[in-house]
Amino acid sequence: MASPPARESAPDLPPLSSECALSEPALWTRPFILLLASNVAFYFGFQLLVASLPLYTVHLGGGEAVAGLVTGLFTLTAMLVRPLTGWGLDAYGRRSIWRIATIGCLFAVAAQGFAGTLVLLLLLRMVNGVFFGVSTTAGGAVAGDSVPTRRLGEGMGFVAVTMGVSLGVAPPLGLWLAGRGQYGALFVVAAVCTAIALALQWNLGSRRPSRPHTTDARLSLRAMYEPTALFPSVLMLLLITGFGMIMALLALSTKERGIGGVGLWFTVYAVALTLARSGTGRMSDRWGYRQTAIFGLIFATAGLSLIAAAQNEWMLLTSGVLFGLGFGTTQPSLQAMLVERSPRPRLGAATAMFFFAYDLGMGVGSVVGGVLAGAIGMQSVFALGVLGPLGGIALLVGHLRRLPRPVRAAP
């Protein structure tokens, strides 16, 4: 396999001296801190609505099928817009598109609070999905631009933390407001969070010129496809498919087996996920992103296996810890691998492919898991889900074996 092209250095930065090259590059710069803060605010507003929107749908007169459609259309539109977004980020610049898309999210979120009919809510969720897909893809590319090459694992780990750090607060707050019929306040809080994210994005500044990242702005399939992103994207697809099965079937499966604690499962999962994302970045920079990803996939495999075998609450909660550690270790490692492998002018398309694989895996895991559950049982579905991370381990081990071995000096 041909070695991936090296990341290009920023055009407006002077070359490093040999003394500076030996020192550790700065990670906690003002732009990086603002980027993390913006992500926290943005995802807090997003997660505030995820759990409470089904209740809002029922409030407007819809049923379970319509509630599912509201969620499904949002995810579908976000996924479909990502490839086009990748081309736009490389052709026309990343931070400007990021800000424009966040403005679109702000107006779409605020407008949903005034939706008087289900049809209007569905349309606004689709609009929100489009802007969400563009904003999150652009934010991922900006993060890749902002993290020093030698600290990719650590930096992308903290970026991943910001995506899930509010999981323990935002959904319960959203359900609390919805449960009291305070839907106006719900959408106001979500809009305020999105506005804060936008304000922080606007203060990021730019160390690099705002010109396009590529001189060829023609739209084509080749412009939306980045070959170096295929390997980490496939690995992400294999990992996230199992999580899609968990989201679709865990509550039903534990109820069928008479096991309590499914709500607590998501709590311990979120804690383990956050600890892994924040703590394994330096390890991946030292060991290598592929090696760390293998380590994480082993934990994810163990977590899914334990879900399939769980007979009591302790086994279930242990599976949450294992899967959280596995997912939290693997995702930042794969994202760092993606940024390392991809040429800087093509980072937008590469990031779009990665998030497309994420969305696709969630959808495939949920749909296929639901279809198979009726035929073979939910425990068997989780057992089959183990094949995803196991396949990822096999691909990574095979890839490592094909890499050239370092030449040892003669004694």
Is residue 207 predicted with pLDDT exceeding 60? Answer: no
Give me the percent of the chain exceeding a pLDDT of 70: 87
Quick: pLDDT tens for 316-368: 999 999 999 999 999 989 988 998 888 878 888 888 899 899 888 888 888 78
Is residue 3 predicted with pLDDT exceeding 60? Answer: no
> Which pLDDT score, from 0 to 100, does residue 217 have?
57
Mean pLDDT of 67-78: 81
Mean pLDDT of 193-207: 85
CATH superfamily of 29-205: MFS general substrate transporter like domains (1.20.1250.20)
Mean pLDDT of 250-275: 85
Mean pLDDT of 71-90: 87
| Spatial CB neighbours of 354, under 8 Å, sequence gap ≥ 6 | 140, 229, 232, 233, 236, 334, 335, 338
Using pLDDT thresholds of 50, 70 and 90, give the confidence band for residue 216. Answer: low
Cβ proximity of 324 and 272 under 8 Å: yes
Is residue 237 predicted with pLDDT exceeding 90? Answer: yes
Indicate if 225-405 has the same CATH topology as 29-205: yes
Is residue 6 predicted with pLDDT exceeding 80? Answer: no
Using pLDDT thresholds of 50, 70 and 90, give the confidence band for residue 210. Answer: very low
Weakest mean pLDDT among 2-11, 178-187, 258-267, 338-347 = 2-11
* CA distances (Å), origin 183, targets 14, 73, 129, 172, 269: 52, 21, 20, 14, 28
Is residue 109 predicted with pLDDT exceeding 80? Answer: yes
Residue type, 151: R
> Which pLDDT score, from 0 to 100, does residue 373 have?
84
Q: What SS3 state is found at 113? A: coil
Quick: pLDDT tens for 381-411: 999 999 999 999 999 999 887 765 443 334 4
| Among 168, 167, 187, 165, CA closest to 178 | 187
Domain boundaries, the chain: 29-205, 225-405
> Which pLDDT score, from 0 to 100, does residue 402 have?
74
Report the CATH number of the 225-405 domain. Answer: 1.20.1250.20
The C-alpha angle 105, 107, 110, rounded to 5 degrees, equals 105
Task: Give 191-195 contacts, CB < 8 A, sequence gap 24+.
Answer: 191/45, 191/106, 191/109, 191/110, 191/113, 192/45, 193/41, 193/42, 193/44, 193/45, 193/48, 194/41, 194/42, 194/45, 194/102, 194/105, 194/106, 194/109, 195/106
Q: Report the mean per-residue pLDDT for the chain.
A: 83
Mean pLDDT of 38-60: 89
Mean pLDDT of 216-224: 67
Cβ proximity of 243 and 363 under 8 Å: no
The helix/strand count (H/E) of the chain reads as 18, 0
Mean pLDDT of 230-236: 94
Using pLDDT thresholds of 50, 70 and 90, give the confidence band for residue 15. Answer: very low
Residue 306, token pair as written in the block: 């334990």
